[in-house]
Homo-oligomer: A and B are copies of this chain.
Amino acid sequence: MQIALDAMGGDYAPGPIVAGAVEAVADDPNLRVLLVGDQAQIEKCLADCGASGDRLEIFHCSQAVTMEESPVEALRRKPDNSISRCWQLLAQKKVEAIVSAGNTGAMVAGGLFLRRFLKNVKRPGIAAVMPSPKGPTVLLDVGANVAPKPEHLFQYGVMGSIFARHVLQRNNPTIGLMNVGSEEAKGNELAKETHALFNSSPLRQRFIGNVEGRDILRGAADVVVCDGFVGNVVLKTCEGAFEFAMQMAFHEVTNALDAERDKGKKALETLIQRHHYSAYGGAPLLGIDGICIICHGSSDNRAIRNALRVAAQQATSHVNELIVQELEAVALPSAAD
The answer to whether the Cβ of A233 comes within 8 Å of any Cβ in the partner chain is: yes
The answer to whether the Cβ of A308 comes within 8 Å of any Cβ in the partner chain is: no
Chain B residues with Cβ below 8 Å from A214 are: 236-237, 239-240, 243
A18 to B268, CA, bound (A): 40
Neighbour of A234 across the interface among B132, B185, B213, B271, CB < 8 A: B213
What count of chain A residues pass the 8 Å CB interface test? 67
Chain B residues with Cβ below 8 Å from A186 are: 105
Nearest Cβ distance between residue A205 and chain B, in whole angstroms?
Answer: 23
- The answer on a CB contact under 8 Å between A256 and B264 is yes
Chain B residues with Cβ below 8 Å from A178 are: 233
A260 to B235, CA, bound (A): 35
Chain B residues with Cβ below 8 Å from A263 are: 256-258
- The answer on a CB contact under 8 Å between B229 and A213 is no
Nearest Cβ distance between residue A184 and chain B, in whole angstroms?
Answer: 9
Nearest Cβ distance between residue A308 and chain B, in whole angstroms?
Answer: 25
Which of A9-17, A215-223, A327-335 is the interface stretch?
A215-223
The answer to whether the Cβ of A313 comes within 8 Å of any Cβ in the partner chain is: no
Which of A149-157, A245-253, A281-289 is the interface stretch?
A245-253
Neighbour of A267 across the interface among B105, B213, B226, B252, CB < 8 A: B252
New contact pairs (11) apart from A147-B189, A242-B244, A255-B267, CB-CB < 8 Å: A68-B182, A180-B229, A180-B233, A213-B234, A216-B240, A217-B240, A230-B233, A233-B234, A241-B242, A245-B246, A246-B249
